[in-house]
């Protein structure tokens, strides 16, 4: 695909109306205010791009697994559990859980 065609695809826009849950609208609206997106539309476009990329990768993974299983046989459930356990044990946490707030029974300045 030529760079001229890519530019055309990126700049082409379509106005649509969608219905979203209020909580998601609130979270998305904060992105431009916090400088994480140019606008709500830019944030939504980025989310749609990420989901499209994810769906494409999952489809490719399905194709890979199908090809592997047609050549080597079905992957046993236990082997998948072991692999998942191993992957989780090697995972690096990049987000920590929010701090747990106290019950509020102590007042500031008291011991």
Q: For residue range 72-99, what is the model confidence (pLDDT) as tens digits?
A: 999 999 999 999 999 999 999 888 777 7
Domain contains 2:
no
Q: Domain count for the chain, please give it.
A: 1
Tell whether the torsion through CA atoms of 41, 44, 48 and 53 is positive or negative. Answer: positive
Given a contact cutoff of 8 angstroms between Cβ atoms, the answer to whether 32 and 40 are in contact is yes
Domain contains 109:
no
- What is the total residue count of the chain? 111
Greater confidence, 110 or 67? 67
Q: Domain range for residue 56?
A: 16-90
Domain contains 7:
no
CA neighbor of 88 nearest in space, from 77, 80, 100: 80
Domain contains 106:
no
Domain contains 27:
yes
Domain contains 101:
no
Domain contains 5:
no
Distance of CA 78 to the CA centre of its chain: 28
CA atoms within 13 A on the CB side of 86: 6
Name the region of 22 (left: φ>0; alpha: ψ -120 to 50; beta: rest).
Answer: alpha
Domain contains 102:
no
Residues 29-85: tens digit of each pLDDT: 999 999 999 999 999 999 999 999 999 999 999 999 999 999 999 999 999 999 999
């Amino acid at each position: 695909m030529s760079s001229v065609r890519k530019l055309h695809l990126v700049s082409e826009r379509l106005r649509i109306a969608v219905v979203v849950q209020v909580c998601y609208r609130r979270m998305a609206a904060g992105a431009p205010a916090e400088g994480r997106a140019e606008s709500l539309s830019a944030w939504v476009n980025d989310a749609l791009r990420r989901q499209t990329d994810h769906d494409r990768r999952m489809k490719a993974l399905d194709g890979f697994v199908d090809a592997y299983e047609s050549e080597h046989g079905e992957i046993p459930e236990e082997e998948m559990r072991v692999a998942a356990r191993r992957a989780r044990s090697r995972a690096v946490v990049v987000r920590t859980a929010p701090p747990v707030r106290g019950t509020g029974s102590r007042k500031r300045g008291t011991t």
